[in-house]
Amino acid sequence: MSSTLLVDKHVTYIQALAKNKDDLAYHLTTHLRMNAIYWGVTALFIMERPDALDRDDILDFVMSCWDEEAGALYFWSAFGANPGHDAHILASLSAVQLLATYDALDRLDTVDSKRARLVQFFLDRQNEDGSFTGDQFGERDTRFLYIALNALSLLGCKDDLARIADKTVAHVIRCRNFDGGFGAEPGAESHAAQVWVCVSALAILDRLDAIDIPLLAWWLAERQLPTGGLNGRPEKLPDVCYSHWVLSSLSTLRKLSWIDAPALERFILAAQDEEGGGIADRTGDMPDVFHTCFGVAGLSLLGFPGLRDLDPVYCMPADIIEKRGLRKDWEALPRRAA
Amino acid sequence: MHGVKRAKQSREAIEAKKKKEVALLADYRALEEDVIARKRAGDYSEEAFTLTTKLLKLNFEYYSVWNYRRQILERATFPNASPDKINEVLSVELTFTSAALRQHPKVYWIWNHRSWCLEHVPDGPSEEDPHGWKTANWNKELFVVEKMLDADARNFHAWNYRRVVLASLPVPRPPAEELAYTRRKIESNFSNFSAWHQRSKVFASVWETQEPGDVKLAKDAEFELVKNALFIDPNDQSGWLYHRWLVGDGADVSILSREVGVITEILEIAPDSKWCLDSLVHYKRLLLRGTPLGVDSRALRQECTEILQKLEEIDPMRRRRYQDLRREMDVEA
């Protein structure tokens, strides 16, 4: 079992994903394509291999997913997951993050003012009660609330965020549970991924005061199992992606020291596919780009040598967020020397 | 991808699989192109609808196709149909998606489509009974969700959706029924925190309107229920979390002292139970808040410090938290 991060293998694995266009699996996952590229690119940047995929190819792909039709009647437009797919908030955030990562948000400054219509899309997703929907069909989830805030802040919409802050925070508080965690909707069970989106949303709005930090950090620390891995809810199995949801939340709350970092690091490294590259949910399982991204993200927060700093609020390279003036008061473990 | 074992495959096996996929892939691509072209062209025909069924059966996560399907229903089917017909079409949709859900219980888009269908059930069957169809459909939905929770008692999609269904029933169910349901779930597996959570939500709303005496009786019964769970497995988090909810801010000192007694009893059977010890510290610190400075408070403080030291030993993964708590107590002293 490896105690090193197999960077070269992971880079090759991510590069290959973009080339397997003859695979049925590639075509059965087009609804996730924009997200998958964001996961791959973020993993590459954190592994300090930002040039491993072609910047122009990716930016051209992102812009080719622009959906003119879905919101035509409402003066908004946004991104779908793949060319020809409908606009959705999930793909739209990944698109904005990719543009920001490659410092290419100016691609939205077109004669037909794509940027303004995209901002309108995110703003229009908010309901009267402060909650957000994923698209015009109305599914509500705290994930979408975080997504809108993340994208609007990357797009520089400070005034809009200030205007919607109070009702947005009120909704997040309605989703808070007695264990200090948050669910997808008012009444829903706390879940580490929903905790991460709610903590990050509150961080973006500078409203961490809405959190009982000792209580929530306790609940988060109890996600760590004897194997070192983290689960997402009480009495569930550990999974590498929770090294991001739980760890990033603890980082934003400045309580990373409440879990056993070396044990988690061993758990993530053991989930690597040592032959084909990529990271899986657990040792011995099939790797995928989602777990590769969140495994690498977790290792970065744990101070693993040779990695670029990750911003736990945005799940993007920290320097890129800092340059946009969006860095919050989170804390990661010091970067160790190789 | 979750929980899919990595299998070592030979080059030959991979090639063979690829060969087999070629034909499948070609069919899938052709169907996809056809559907997307029709969608772009605004084709809302029955034929297009049938093609979306075919495509979704191959890929239930294709959200744009679910959208297209709803557009066809809204723009072509419903405007020309009687309420009776609409109700029938939606029933077919629900049957189609319940088969899909059994295969893919965690696909958000399928759950979404179901709730969209249910929201579009028209008034009927008659003016005298305008909620008949709605009631029948939502009741059936509750049954479907319960089947899903029988298959996976922790599926959070199903639990979240269950709350939507309960809130949408034209005739609300009495809370007692939901309490009975969560109790059944808990008794079949004390480790089902989702059921404990749901139970806490039901009680929270019921207790808002009840007399303090009734609330106290109900709470005592809950303490009994959770005590059983804690005695059976003192290392399971679920019961402890629920217990902490029941105690709350510890304003009722008699309850607090009684529960500290109960936990001390459990500790005798399981002296190294970290959850016992951690709960004891928490409740003793709550007790401390109401204890005037003096012999008693010094003793409580000393007990907490000793337990925290023990916790550092038996739960080294969270050592720093226990150290932080000790430091916090030193500052308070």
State the pLDDT at residue A44.
98
A116 HSE (CA, 13 A, CB side): 6
Flag if B245 and A178 touch (Cβ within 8 Å).
yes
Q: Is B5 on the interface with A (CB under 8 A)?
A: yes
List, for residues B197-209, the tens digit of each pLDDT value. 999 999 999 999 9
Domains of chain A: which residue ranges?
1-33+212-338, 54-207
List, for residues B137-195, the tens digit of each pLDDT value. 999 999 999 999 999 999 999 999 999 999 999 999 999 999 999 999 999 999 999 99
Residue B27 has pLDDT above 60, yes or no: yes
State the pLDDT at residue B225.
97
Flag if A188 and B3 touch (Cβ within 8 Å).
no
Q: Is B36 on the interface with A (CB under 8 A)?
A: yes
Residue A122 has pLDDT above 70, yes or no: yes
Residue B1 has pLDDT above 80, yes or no: no
Find chain B residues with C-beta within 8 A of A221's C-beta. 318, 321
Question: What is the b/e burial string over B20-53, where b = at least 16 CB atoms within 10 angstroms of the residue's CB?
Answer: ebeeebeebeebbeebbebbeeebbeeebbebbe
User: Terminus-to-terminus CA distance in chain A, angstroms?
Assistant: 19
Give the chain A residue nearest B20 (alpha carbons). A24
**Sign of CA pseudo-dihedral A67, A70, A75, A78:** negative
Interface list for B 185-224 with A (CB within 8 A): 191-194, 197-198, 200-201
The ipTM estimated for the assembled molecules is 0.95
Flag if A137 and B112 touch (Cβ within 8 Å).
yes
From B18's Cα to the closest Cα of chain A, the distance in A is: 7
Flag if B316 and A260 touch (Cβ within 8 Å).
yes
State the pLDDT at residue B3.
77
Q: What is the CB neighbour count within 10 angstroms for residue A11?
A: 18
From B101's Cα to the closest Cα of chain A, the distance in A is: 17
Q: What is the mean pLDDT of residues B100-126?
A: 93
Which of A168-172, B69-73, B174-178, B329-333 has the least mean pLDDT? B329-333
Question: What is the b/e burial string over A286-302, where b = at least 16 CB atoms within 10 angstroms of the residue's CB?
Answer: bbbbbbbbbbbbbbbbb
Residue A127 has pLDDT above 80, yes or no: yes
pLDDT > 70: percent of chain A: 99
Count contacts between A and B (CB, < 8 Å).
135
Tell me what the pLDDT averaged over chain B comes to.
94
Q: Which of A27, A222, A224 sits opposite B28 (nearest CB)?
A: A27
State the pLDDT at residue A121.
97
Flag if B237 and A282 touch (Cβ within 8 Å).
no
Are the C-beta atoms of residues A288 and A17 closer than 8 Å to each other?
A: no
State the pLDDT at residue B291.
84
Q: Is B322 on the interface with A (CB under 8 A)?
A: no
Residue A1 has pLDDT above 60, yes or no: no
- What's the CATH number for B248-333? 1.25.40
Give how far Cα B333 sits from Cα of A169, B147, B292, Å: 35, 54, 12
Q: Which of B3, B236, B248 sits opposite A285 (nearest CB)?
A: B3
Q: What is the mean pLDDT of residues A92-118?
A: 97
Q: Which of A31, A224, A233 sits opposite B63 (nearest CB)?
A: A31
- What's the CATH number for A1-33+212-338? 1.50.10.20
List, for residues A195-252, the tens digit of each pLDDT value. 999 999 999 999 999 999 999 999 999 999 999 999 999 999 999 998 889 999 999 9
Q: Which of A22, A235, A239 sits opposite B193 (nearest CB)?
A: A235
> Given pLDDT bands bounded at 50, 70 and 90, which one contains residue B10?
confident
Could you please state the CATH topology (level 3) that the domain comprising A54-207 is classified under.
Glycosyltransferase (1.50.10)
Q: What is the mean pLDDT of residues A324-330?
A: 98
State the pLDDT at residue A2.
66
User: Which conformational region is residue A130 in: left (phi greater than 0), alpha (psi within -120 to 50 degrees), or beta?
Assistant: left
CA–CA separation, A61 and B112 (whole Å): 28
> Given pLDDT bands bounded at 50, 70 and 90, which one contains residue B227?
very high
